[in-house]
Structure 1
Amino acid sequence: MNTTKSLRELFEDNEVGKLVLPNFQRGYEWKESDQQLLLSTVLVKLPIGGLLVLEGRKGDFATRQLCYEDEEFDQDENCLYLLDGQQRSSTLRAVLSDLYGTIDQWETNYDQLYKKLRYRWFLNVTKIEDEDVFGYENLAFHKLDNLEPGQVIDNIEYKKIIKSNTNEWHHPSYRVKKDGALLEGNVLKNEIAKHAANEGVIPLYELYEYSGHTNTVLELTLSKIARERVDELKALVSGGEKSLTELLGTKLPEVYAYEHKEEYSEDEERDLNDAWSSLASDWKKDILQYLEGVIDQELHVIQLPASEISRATSIYENINKGGKGLDTYDLIVAKAAAGHRTERTLTQRITSILNDEIQIPDSLVDQLRGSVQRQWASTQIGVMDDKKIINPIREQYLNLLSIFSHTEYGNFDDFKIDLIKKEKHLKLNSEQINQNTELTTQSLVRALAFLQFRCGKISINDLNYKLMILPIAYILSDDEKWNSRASLAKIEYWYWSSLFGGSYREKQNQICIEDIRKLYEWINGGQNPFEYRGSKVLKSEGYSDRTVLMLMSEEREGVPLAIKNGVLEYVLSTQPKDFNISKEVRLNPWDISRSKEVEVSDDEVRLLRVHDHHIYPLGADYSIERTAKELREDKQHILNSPLNRTYISDYANGLIRDKNPSSYFEYLSDLTSWGHLIGLSWDRNEGEEKAEFHKRLLNDRYERLLESITLRLDRLKDVRDLQHTR
């Protein structure tokens, strides 16, 4: 039977035990990005696929509620078993309703929730960097159901609920005292709404329970945001930057008569104030009504009769064997085929270029040490997985194809962020796709070669900011730049200063588009626009500074993965020697990526494979209370800092593994001149506390790393000193 069910009905049925999960369903697995994408689709009211349910009775299967791991709850005698749609249903239940309950319930509910659902979700209605999707600029909301998910996804934010962080305003047990008394009820809600309004975000977790109720945090927050924006708009009108007619024309038809008047009568003052109030309240009301419509939108449901219960597991398994849905890349492939029906498919053409070897130019490698591989294919950096193009490459192919198809190289008049958005991709025609695919793919290949030979990148999957491929590929599409040492030096300056300076931690789409233009203009004779980034290398507060790298940040969020990888890769880009005294083997990403055979002793040859090695070994620091394994799992222990890590071969790691600490440190002292930016002394001073000793060692490595990167940047920006880069 085919039927429909609104999200609200879905949640209600689950609450009362009428809609349940059978025990053969997998646990909740979606990442935050998956949840965010689904929510963006629901917000613009696009279909999210149907649900499959099976009619049954209590006890047919062991069951559990959406979102919770606990199997015991009050189940209805006649129920519906959800066979397909758990991840989507659980996500929306967790995002759009409050699963933590009252102040007395939250801890129990927290413990039973899947870990990947321990978040609270918000909409940033004040964010207008790319698009003013919530009409905050003039307090004029025009709905979202004519937009694409990509246009609202950046407005979706989430905050992780950490059990012990009860002093955070978004925490379910947040309490605050005023005048010695704990705030409760509406007074507490008002306090939380103040915090939310200060950040410009409205809570989505109240939406299911909202239903027009006043004095919810959702409603209070929107009121506060609207009132504050009205005050800002009044100031803009007073300063001549905004027009009363533009803002209040629909609220006060004769408002044009108020323009440019310095004084108003009492009646005019009252009418104006009423119009401003109406502007704020209508904006709030329009957003709330739209969001209520979101939770009331219908899902398609296939409902199987109870007679199918014996085949329920098989039905579930068969459904989940289906392939993934079409994505933008698939649609581009189909468009290309429509224009070239007799040729190879677009994917076959791209794959062929990715597999073909290219000649590495002198400009890229003539400053590197030793014998350098000169025939290279991008498969060496991991662009294929099981003979399929990996998603990051597909995505950057689409972005770069759109740029080359919609703009002329070097002309930035129409160079805007929408070039790398889905809507622009889908406007490509078959002629554009087929004509520009070879250039696009070859440019990507050159960018990947640059990342491996100059930036220490073993695998492209380790590039955390995938959009950083685009400025490199754009510049290197020009043969002259590909063969220019000066151009490559400037690209490398941009890469390290951007990575370690923190410029890609936020607004990546916007930064990427701006960087293509800035990098092009610098290479073509302009001034260096990245000097400030260079000054922020390993000093970007809360991201790459000394406090973060030494795991001393009060936020305790840990070191960003981009910086962890970046430190390892920067050191690898200096081509350090392996920790093997008997044979000199220089480590580099191109030999590691192809598992080159290397001589490790007089009578042994091995494939070159590397381990992420703790320079100061955890084994030298463990105690009866804490084993080395426990220290390794403690991500906040200072010895797990990237400052204590470097790549060494698995062979060298084996040589070290059996050494006692004193022998290892003696061995290490002989290696300090071999690169890796490690210090000379590994002896603990008399009377020096262990914690202070660790800080001293890591602080020394931080200084060496900072000095090395700074010197490299200084050399890279001066083309005349390029021969001294390494």
Structure 2
Amino acid sequence: MAEATFQTNPVLLHELLKACHAGKMQLPDFQRSWVWDEDRIKSLVASISRAFPVGAVMTLRTGGAVNFKPRPIEGTPDDIRPEDADFLLLDGQQRMTSMYQVALRDHVVRTVTPKNKPVDRWFYLDIRKCLDPQEDREAAIIGVPADRVLRSDFNRTVVLDLSTPEREFEELMYPVSRVFAWNDWNNRFLKYAYTHGRENLLPVIIDFFEQVISNFQQYQVPVISLASSTSKEAVCTVFEKVNTGGKALDAFELVTAMYAAEGHELRKDWYGKGSEPGRHHRLIETLRQGGQDRGILAEVANTDFLQAVALFHNRDRRRQAEVDGKQGKELPSIAPTRQAILNLPLASYKKYESVVEAGFVKAAKFLHRLHIYRVFDLPYQSQVVPLAAILADLGDAADHEANHGKLVCWYWNGVFGELYGSAIESRFARDFLEVPVWILRGGDLPSTIRDSTFRADRLKTMRMRLSAAYKGVNALLMKEGATDWRSGQTFDHTVFFGESVDIHHIFPKDWCLKNNLKWEVFDSIINKTPLSYRTNRIIGGSAPSAYLARLESADSDGPGIDRDRLDGFLASHLIDPALLRADAFETFMADRQAKLLRLIENATGQAVYRDTEIEATDEDETDEETFESSRTMEAAQ
């Protein structure tokens, strides 16, 4: 039986808060700041005052493999040091910080209103309301300003004055900051009561202690304590399960905390600091065009970047293992899994960070050469990671024409083989090992090329941008020299953004519906092509024969287009002009399907699998409602 890596024990709330005050319990540095508003604080105090459960907390004993930089609980003494921490509070920060601030610290609490306005508050228990079973307990928790005077009417009328201990006694308001100091408060109250002839209140005070204050003093919190031997992956998994109040904690934040313990600011590397832009900003700006809010690398996540770095680190480990005589299953995996990211040493990160960033920049230029300009048109976001790593590894050798051609072949096989939708980490590793060797030395084809197949009838099922292959066909058409039917311009990045180029129907949707064609037939990629916004406006919903005639005629938009030149423009889109002019939809679809298949074969270097069975994938939908939403989405681009 495996040794347990955690224990669950009830611990007095007071003991937990004292551990926070002494610095024995601190936060891992990645934990977000304390943000609870005064209403949530009141709700928490009310629950504890009635001995209601408020949930467990989770701690991690320090000194193990997970070396996070500790950070004191907000409001604790300034002389607390990171090395004072025996435990890190993984889950329960907001509750523990709130109770420390209001119940132990004995300072005014800086919080916010429900409308997020910063305020200073002292919190009190209204003794009479606490003892009234008809009163809502949260209504018995009172928050007052820093001067302890509650006013109304634009601060002109005093509603409640608790500015002195005597005023607190008179109003029967018990400061929450004294719930663990009952004896001191009670002695002072007894002196007040006998001095002011209010001995009749003593039974009330006794009841208040027994029914309310004792709940605070006896309150126990379930504590799940993770042992110092807990693995990094287990800690990451724990956070994903418990961190439901906000954004789930990912591997980047955990690595950030571990690097911080070694004095390195990973967050600064990625997000920048002050006026200094970080890597994330640089990637967003890479090849960003005028009028475009972000470049092709805008969706590269911090964990994507760490995956690429991990590929290099894991390969180094593997090579060293080979030198040490290990073989087969003894060799370390290269796959950039979450565990691999969590085990990425700071030294390796520093060694490869600049190399990998240069690889991502090269990946952006590579994609632009393939006429993939926008994140929206990127077949697979995931494929950018191995692409960047491979380009970083190849360096200048990637610029050689023959090497570039091989890399293009690998890329299109990944797209049209639709191989990057799942189980991608193992494919990252294989590609990173195999592709550079194949490009530079020849030999066996990479497994991504060997695994890639494309069925001829797959074109008929590609109807939405969710499909990587759908996007791939669009990019291939532009790469192979498709020209706009109105302007005759090829779709380089200037034209693409300047003319608002997008995928549009060749036989328009309205014409197809009027002619009783099935949407699942006419909406496939076979009947679509890249065109400028203005050209698509001229097309409208007319029959091809009609809109071609408009393009050839002189009008307010400019002189007409010569018929032969227009036929050349159509042919550049793999369209037979004669079939289009004859409105011969079925013949057109069969002819263009054959031409698109040859286009894909040329790109992948492999024959298309020609069979009659249509095999849809999860990336395509077949219901008309999804079709309509897809068209709305495309129209908005």
Shorter-chain-normalised TM-score: which range? 0.3 to 0.5
TM-score (norm 2): 0.47
TM-score (norm 1): 0.42
Q: Compare CA radii of gyration and give the structure with the larger one.
A: 2
